[in-house]
Amino acid sequence: MDNRQDSWRLGLDIGGTFTDLLLVRGTDGRMVLHKVLTTYPDPAAGALTGLCELLDLAGLPITALDEIVHSTTLATNAIIERRGPRTGLLITAGFRNLLDLGKEQRYDTYDLFLPYPEPLIPLALRREIDERTLADGTILRGVTPAQVVARVRELVEDGIAGLAIVFLHAYVNPANEEAAAATIAAHFPNLPLSLSSQVAPLMGEWKRASTTTADAYVRPLVDSYLAHLAAHLRQMGFAGRFSLLLSDGSAASPETVRRYPIRLLESGPAAGALAGAAVGRRLTAQPAFGFVGDDLLAFDMGGTTAKACLVEGSRPHVGQGFEAARASRFRRGSGLPIAVPSVDLIEIGAGGGSIAYRDELGLLQVGPQSAAADPGPACYGLGGDQPTVTDANLLLGYLNADYFLGGRLRLDRDAAERAVGRLAVALGLSPSVCAWGIHRVVNENMAAAARVHVIERGHDPRRFTLVASGGAGPAHVAGIARLLGAPRYVLPMGAGALACLGDLDAPYALTLERTHLARLDSLDWAAVQAVVADLIATARRHLLDAGIAPERIHLDLAADMRMVGQVHHIRIPVSREELQEGRSSALCARFHRYYTQLYARSNPAMPLELVGWRVTAQGLPPETPPPSIPSTDTPDPSPAQKAVRPLYLGEASGCAETPIYDRAALAAGMVLTGPAVVEEREATALLLPGDRGVVDCFGNIVVTVAAV
């Protein structure tokens, strides 16, 4: 199946406002896109309806599909909205309150009334087990089967649908957790279990417990959702491979996801980051643009949130964990720590549906509250009456009321004027200035977050190219690029559904981690090699079971390292040769090089210690050639111009009659000069005055930012 290129693959991304679908043909990269509103409370219903509409649009039977790769926000939404079933917890005696205590750190030192997320498992559904494993892995007290059965029976009678097992130091020696699980399986065979030694075998009791309880909490929901979706696809006649995108940007089988459901938590945002990286690789292959794939910031802005991700080595940067269900949205430290590999991105509440309002100081603010798809922005005409970013963009002239979603959803300009007008009166502004303010505030919020994100990783945002995706991204990227001081930005073809391209670009992979604490200068390399070999064997087995040929599996190794006495660590790539030969000096030199890049200096005199190991087994996705567009000998874009429309570009510029271009009519080599608007079914792109955009052979518009 991996080598078939004569059939179609489908990328399916379910977001908070829209569900995007993309068909790609393996032989020539032909793409067919479609976009529908996300349905609540059952997002799969809208996805299946959209799939039928897309197949009709392409004139294809579902049997033509070779593979479906799906990204979703299901698990994240379940945790945020607390829609999971009752879940129980078995924990070491004396640690029942661990989920409430956390790390006892304040994310805002001066706020005496800080909100924190409620634990996913309430105190009444936690039971202590009299067992103990010491920090070195020695079993001080084993589990008593009778006690385990009694405690679990109490929880089952209380209506739990899943159970987490978190014992002290199980990441070093999982024997007690495994013994308890075996006992439970014998007496309660239908009860789903999540063991911390399998979900997150990492040092740190709080983050390990938080990750494991979240895994147990979403496990029944994910299992039910996947079974429901797979059954409907089979009924429709789909017989290909069904895969899901994980938080780290890799694809996995439903069986792997059912075993590690917590890995699905950041599935949706990871798709947008992968798509940006894919566009970057295509531009790097065109020397005329002088593009460097390493200097890329993937910017995705949809209907609910905006995300930015740093791309390094033509792949999104993968972090060591993230937070879910933040009590203070977008405030680091206010959420539940999830210790699984995840695409490292910054996310803020800035989307097309973000609601604008006057705060208690009388200032204009936008988000993080969103109108989402239900009821949606006021201009959707679906019941929403709050002013949103989409309403503002419509009044500014950036959106075509008759061509939103290709004309399938006609926007109500009068409703947008009423919503924004009420806010304008409250602020003492004219409606046009208020709409411009909404647009600018969203840009400022995203630029500020992206700037910090890039600088924290040791880079200068002024040398990065932005790649815009999402339904709202192309309309805002020009302003954000100016605020960041970026030299250029890219408006990809099909940006409104570009996350689906990320789905299809995802390698089939599984990443496993395990803590193994030891000093580098006295490291037992034989013990390390045994740990890594076990991780490799487990990861390879998952890929082989999914049908990936052995010769297509690639392995990546990394070590988490820190100076002795430090709390936090950094991740260092390691070659298999260095591991087999025990090259401590190579790891030491690489650590100090990476440390200096992040923090500007290092201390070579300090001894180092290894914290843990990370293994990624990866099977590359099918290589599909990107579709090309016709070229032209003249840079004149007038053949693609469809109209002229007044755009409001700020108080200094006022309204300007602006050319509107049809994206489908653009040819490679055409040059656009801002101000300009480029319309396609899934998204509308804006070039600001003085910007110069060149259309490449794949239909992307590479825009050089005007000097300001």
Please report the domains of the chain, with CATH numbers, ordered by start residue.
Answer: 8-79+223-264 (3.30.420.40), 82-215 (3.40.1360), 354-439 (no CATH), 508-619 (3.30.1490), 638-704 (no CATH)
- Cα end-to-end distance, the chain, whole Å: 52
Confidence of residue 244 (pLDDT cuts 50, 70, 90): very high
Confidence bin at 373 (pLDDT 50/70/90) = low
- pLDDT range class, residue 37, cuts 50, 70, 90: confident
Q: What is the pLDDT of residue 2?
A: 42
Nearest Cα neighbor of 11 from 695, 622, 542 is 622
Hey, which of 18-27, 32-41, 148-157, 563-572 has the most confident mean pLDDT?
A: 148-157
**Sorting pLDDT into bands at 50, 70 and 90, what band is 33?**
confident
Segment among 261-275, 308-322, 537-551, 592-606 with least mean pLDDT: 308-322
Nearest to 127 by CA among 184, 169, 182, 46: 184
Contact 558, 572 (CB under 8 A): yes
Q: How far are the Cα atoms of 130, 178, 256, 358, 479 from residue 185, in angstroms, in the given order?
A: 19, 10, 20, 56, 57
Each residue's pLDDT tens digit, 192-214: 999 999 999 988 899 999 999 99
- For 243, the token pair is 């895969």
Rounded Cα distance between 99 and 214, Å, is 11
- From 22-31, 156-165, 283-292, the region with the lowest mean pLDDT: 283-292
Question: Averaged over 626-652, what is the pLDDT?
Answer: 88
In the prediction, which pLDDT does 330 show?
57
Name the token pair of 608: 């180092």
Is residue 257 a contact partner of residue 264, using CB atoms and an 8 Å limit? yes
Q: What percent of the chain has pLDDT over 70?
A: 95
Across residues 562-579, what is the average pLDDT?
A: 91
pLDDT at res. 1? 38
In degrees and rounded to multiples of 5, residue 457 shows phi and psi of -100, 15
> Per DSSP, what are the bridge partners of residue 350?
none
Reply yes or no on whether the pLDDT at 127 is more than 60: yes
pLDDT bucket at 705, cuts 50 / 70 / 90: very high
Nearest Cα neighbor of 26 from 69, 66, 59, 71 is 66
5 has a pLDDT exceeding 60: no
Ranking 103-107, 123-127, 228-232, 398-402 by mean pLDDT, the lowest is 103-107
Q: Is the pLDDT of residue 172 over 80?
A: yes
Closest by CA position to 519, among listed 601, 611, 598, 431: 611
The Cα 426–Cα 431 span in angstroms is 11
What is the rounded distance in angstroms from the CA atom of residue 44 to the CA atom of residue 480? Answer: 34
Instruction: Name the phi and psi angles at 542, rounded to 5.
Output: -65, -40
> CA-CA distance, 695 to 620, in Å (whole number)?
29
pLDDT higher than threshold 70 for residue 438? yes
* CA separation for the pair 114, 130 (Å, rounded): 34
Lowest average pLDDT, out of 3-7, 460-464, 678-682, goes to: 3-7
Residue 602, pLDDT above cutoff 60:
yes
Q: For residues 274 and 309, what is the distance between their CA atoms, to the nearest angstrom?
A: 9
3-class secondary-structure state, position 184? helix
| Predicted pLDDT at 371 | 79
Rounded to whole angstroms, how far apart are CA atoms 52 and 142?
55
Q: How far apart are CA 636 and CA 270, in angstroms?
A: 37
Average pLDDT over residues 655-684: 92
Give the closest residue to 558 by CA, choosing from 580, 527, 579. 579
- Interstrand relation of 465-469 and 508-519 (parallel, antiparallel or unpaired): unpaired
pLDDT of residue 588: 94
As a whole number of angstroms, the distance between CA 657 and CA 675 comes to 9
User: What's the rounded mean pLDDT across residues 511-526?
Assistant: 90
Q: What single letter denotes the amino acid at residue 617?
A: A
Q: State the residue for tokens 């679906």.
A: 382
Give the span between the Cα atoms of 207 and 200, in whole angstroms: 9
- What pLDDT, in 10s, does the model give residues 329-362? 557 777 888 988 888 887 776 788 889 999 888 9
**Nearest CA to 209 among 35, 110, 337?**
337
Residue at token pair 């899901």: 244
- The pLDDT tens digits for 384-406 are 889 999 999 999 999 999 888 77
Determine the pLDDT at residue 622: 66
Burial 659-695 (b: 16+ CB within 10 A, else e): bbbebeebbbbbebebbbbbbbbbbbbbbbbebebbb
Query: pLDDT at position 110, please?
Result: 80
Residue 469 has pLDDT above 50, yes or no: yes
Query: What is the arithmetic mean of pLDDT over 610-615?
Result: 92
Distance CA 32, CA 15 (A): 19
Please name which of 228, 168, 158, 167 lies closest in space to residue 191, comparing C-alpha atoms.
Answer: 158
The DSSP code sequence of 326-349 is -SSTT-TTSSEEE-S-EE-EEEES
Output the pTM of the full model.
0.81
**Average pLDDT of every residue of the chain:** 88
Give how far Cα 246 sits from Cα of 221, 335, 340, 371, Å: 16, 20, 10, 27
pLDDT on residue 505: 86
Amino acid 329: pLDDT: 57
Q: Following DSSP, what letter does each residue of 186-226 receive, concatenated?
A: HH-TTS-EEEHHHH---S-HHHHHHHHHHHHHHHHHHHHHH
